[in-house]
Structure 1
């Protein structure tokens, strides 16, 4: 006998939780399904635990920078203690979420959800039917297709390490590689990054990434670009990574090899063909309302939808849009204007709005203001040499089209630029704003 619901939500991350809660509050019967502990990537194995590690590593870095500037003594990371502190945040999450769902009358199912028809699923022998289904199953590491791929650990496994090996290789050059390499290096590991592309962090402006690379070098991180990993072999002492570069074959001995080469929607186990839900190149085919173009009963949100940037706030935004469309009919579209993005390196790098290349491609007329600001008070008072900005401002209107920052506090300051872009504020309006001083935000007027 089937269990009947108005909505079945696949996944228990940010998008799933927001949508399930909103729809249940409107009086619909709701079921939520996950084959992993409830909580999703961000809370359990992504943003939150990563930021715990970044915070500790940042403290070590700050202490080192302030040597000979009034701070004495040597600090170091105690990895087991840091791991225990991180778990004090992550361990309670699944039980808290399950309790919350139960209190709200949301039915929870554990196991793999597999579609058996356009409106039906099977979860470990339980047959479920619903008027609507929401796929919010998150993302998974992309397949690399190289010999020895099984020897690589994921970012999730890195975050769960009880001890940190001495020699670590990061395969890839995006957020995970950049952030985890700084954490590991400040914890005392010897880190090598092997990146197939021409540079790291391709979603950020090249000038700012170049400035940030000074910190990679200062931390002793060996960054090898234009280098493609071809195989990973198990040895008696660890692993041997073989890669190809313009200079020839590269061989590196490592104790740990980390997959940091990107993620794709986690759709493979859902049997979407049985639902009549079309997929192309690994992505759900969705309309402007986050609804399947081939099965109107199915919606998607967050990393599973992949219409907006793969960020937690976008997942929450998508879920709100889907919830409104389910309740009101398809009248709401996601709005990804002014979504800020941050790589939590040490110091962080941040961006919002258009890059210079994107603004040029759109044929917009703009002025560019770029500068390295290592001699500004914000940088000097933290003894941080990496600090800079790049602003893209539309000619005539004065609208801020893009803001790009690297250095102390930019993970917070970027939100002010996001507010400006989303609300069409001008550079003049921001310059006239009186910010508290001395803060990172008090530099905004000088950047514009």
Structure 2
């Protein structure tokens, strides 16, 4: 750290990763500034995982209230009001944004509410034309939803706009087969919208275990969600009444009230001046970095979704911590990307960690998969036929548990603890020796034989 620059660290982007890197670096004595052109908190807090999870909670009440009747509750006069949920979620987002601002203020991090562009290895130009210098620059600007180049694509919306809908659409088409498409399909279906998921490929959630994702597809179809596979978009037309006519290749047209693009996210590097100063980018605009988050320009680092390594908020936070410890804390730290747990907050939710069965088949000399396919106790009394499925993948040579995958109520909550076991390299024998906690769904993890 030196006084020859205006700041020791200048961060572009005040999302989860940028905030963590900023406050930890400042705690180590660095003079830190953060430029944020929109709102402090980033995608996750403002228009991503946090408000989306609140919508998931709200959607779950549709089934919970229906099931409650079987448990003796009189809930005959229920009515859902979208503006109430929408406004309460937005209010919670504002509260969290205030907390993030307070965190930066308490750590004496200067927040600059402007867009910033890198104009030199140690220089940043702000939107108002002023220039500042920094010993180290950190790019943490995240990613944005990708909208394909299809005629009429502008008539659709992205996940950024979902949280501000004036009214709920009656007919929703969701483009994509990933976690965002799967989550919003469940949300809108529970809000009594007719949902059609359109995917240009032949499967959903291709990075998840095949048996688990097939179970989600089966359950979704039983619930009444429609799917169209191998169906690229040709064009979208907006009719006089505001509705949409969606043309697909090899399919009948779909009439809809809303089209949601959920076909991926691209790193937010356009117009940042990175290539002009020598920072190497990948084919989709991602900043290429080494194991220490350092770019091809030694003074410029990048973390989070803008690097397109693992687009998960906890990963960005861990990268921000590692950056701060390494560069300003005198404690060289690297992120371990093995066995990162992930979840899809679909209806029902999916969670997984480690190798899928197909990965084990390709990578291990021999493996064994243990499966528990059961009907949760709550579903039995509720008269709901929906079944949960848990799977454990074992390396037969070492007996080590190398993967756990599940679909069912509270699967992400259960998997967080189970992921510790996979990360620690525990064996199937150690699982078997653990006494079950009964009656729970999670006990299935230690009862598979």
Shorter-chain TM-score bucket reads over 0.9
- Counting only pairs closer than 5 Å after superposition, residues 226-245 of structure 1 correspond to structure 2 as 226-237=230-241, 238-244=243-249
Matched, 1:135 2:139: yes
After TM superposition, give the deviation of residue 59 of structure 1 in Å. 1.8
Q: Which moved more, 1:64-73 or 1:336-345?
A: 64-73
Q: Cα distance 1:180–1:161, how it changes in 2: closer, same or farther (>3 A)?
A: same
- Aligned residues of 2:51 and 2:89 also touching (Cα < 8 A): yes
> Which residue in the other structure is 2:322 paired with?
321
After TM superposition, give the deviation of residue 306 of structure 1 in Å. 2.2
> Which residue in the other structure is 2:20 paired with?
18
Matched, 1:54 2:56: yes
Q: Distance in 2 between matches of 1:177 and 1:76?
A: 26
Q: Which moved more, 1:67-76 or 1:339-348?
A: 67-76
Q: Cα distance 1:71–1:198, how it changes in 2: closer, same or farther (>3 A)?
A: farther
Matched, 1:217 2:218: no
After TM superposition, give the deviation of residue 19 of structure 1 in Å. 0.6
- Counting only pairs closer than 5 Å after superposition, residues 281-292 of structure 1 correspond to structure 2 as 281=283, 282-292=285-295
Q: Distance in 1 between matches of 2:238 and 2:331?
A: 53
- Counting only pairs closer than 5 Å after superposition, residues 32-431 of structure 1 correspond to structure 2 as 32-68=34-70, 70-74=72-76, 75-124=78-127, 125-237=129-241, 238-244=243-249, 248-281=250-283, 282-292=285-295, 294-307=296-309, 309-327=310-328, 331-374=332-375, 377=377, 379-380=379-380, 383=384, 385-431=386-432
- Aligned residues of 2:435 and 2:446 also touching (Cα < 8 A): no
User: What TM-score, normalized to structure 1?
Assistant: 0.93
Q: Cα distance 1:21–1:150, how it changes in 2: closer, same or farther (>3 A)?
A: same
After superposition, give the CA deviation of every residue in 1:299-343 in whole Å (9 maximum; x if it has no partner): 111111222x21111111111111122125694321022211111
Q: Distance in 1 between matches of 2:39 and 2:298?
A: 29
- Aligned residues of 2:30 and 2:328 also touching (Cα < 8 A): no
Q: Distance in 1 between matches of 2:319 and 2:194?
A: 39
The alignment covers a number of residue pairs equal to 441
After TM superposition, give the deviation of residue 33 of structure 1 in Å. 0.9
- Aligned residues of 2:390 and 2:445 also touching (Cα < 8 A): no
- Aligned residues of 2:436 and 2:446 also touching (Cα < 8 A): no
Q: Secondary structure at the match of 2:86?
A: helix
Q: Secondary structure at the match of 1:49?
A: helix
After superposition, give the CA deviation of every residue in 1:414-439 in whole Å (9 maximum; x if it has no partner): 11221011111112222322353222
Q: Distance in 1 between matches of 2:302 and 2:380?
A: 46
After TM superposition, give the deviation of residue 268 of structure 1 in Å. 1.0
Q: Distance in 1 between matches of 2:328 and 2:448?
A: 44
Gaps in structure 2 of 5+ consecutive residues:
none
After superposition, give the CA deviation of every residue in 1:374-423 in whole Å (9 maximum; x if it has no partner): 2x536535645131022211113211111110011211111122101111
Q: Distance in 2 between matches of 1:268 and 1:419?
A: 38
- Aligned residues of 1:112 and 1:269 also touching (Cα < 8 A): no
Q: Distance in 1 between matches of 2:108 and 2:219?
A: 50
After superposition, give the CA deviation of every residue in 1:362-384 in whole Å (9 maximum; x if it has no partner): 2342111134222x536535645
Q: Secondary structure at the match of 1:19?
A: helix
The CA RMSD measured in Å over matched residues stands at 2.0
- Aligned residues of 2:45 and 2:97 also touching (Cα < 8 A): no
Q: Secondary structure at the match of 2:133?
A: strand
Q: Distance in 2 between matches of 1:20 and 1:447?
A: 45
- Aligned residues of 2:322 and 2:332 also touching (Cα < 8 A): no
After TM superposition, give the deviation of residue 346 of structure 1 in Å. 1.4
Q: Distance in 1 between matches of 2:104 and 2:293?
A: 24
After TM superposition, give the deviation of residue 208 of structure 1 in Å. 1.5
After TM superposition, give the deviation of residue 203 of structure 1 in Å. 1.8
After TM superposition, give the deviation of residue 445 of structure 1 in Å. 1.0
- Aligned residues of 2:25 and 2:329 also touching (Cα < 8 A): no
Q: Distance in 2 between matches of 1:94 and 1:371?
A: 42
Q: Secondary structure at the match of 1:316?
A: helix
Q: Which moved more, 1:251-260 or 1:389-398?
A: 389-398
